[in-house]
Amino acid sequence: MATVLLATDGSDLALRAAARALDVLGHDHEFVTVAVVPPVFVATASVSPMENHPMLVDPELEAQLEGEQRAESAVDEDHLDRELGITSTHVVETGEPGPTICSAAERVGADLVVMGSHGHGWLQRVFLGSVSTHVLQHAPCPVMVVRRESEPEPED
């Protein structure tokens, strides 16, 4: 039985990519769903005597917790079971998405990684990079990338 790693960010595109993989592969596989919480970098320029006060919320910690909650909801078992008709092992990781997906694929012995691509333009890829491009180049196994559907042309 093959192990299929479903990379998700909780978006409809990630769900559509997983559904497309199931259409092609069928349900007779071991599925592992991974959601990645990117590291949080919060820049603060204030110098305040209240900065280390225990009653104040650390914005970096708050942002990290919020990201973890988003990632956990992205791999909500009930949602996946209902939408995809599968049962999968759920993993939430913190790190840069591309390298973290690749290391998760290696760790679980994935035979295939499935993910969506938001289809950013070349300029955005140059400056921001592309998670799907990174995974395609560095994953330890084949990768199935499902592109976002094009917007329909308006009719006159």
Task: Place 84 in a pLDDT band, splitting at 50, 70 and 90.
Answer: confident
Distance CA 94, CA 71 (A): 9
Higher-confidence residue: 62 or 85? 85
| Residue carrying structure tokens 């192990």 | 3
Distance CA 84, CA 16 (A): 9
Q: CATH classification of 3-40+57-147, choosing from 3.40.1350.10, 3.40.50.300, 3.40.50.620, 3.40.1010.10? A: 3.40.50.620
Average pLDDT, the chain: 77
In this predicted model, what pLDDT tens digit does every residue of 15-38 receive, in sequence order? 899 999 999 999 899 999 898 877
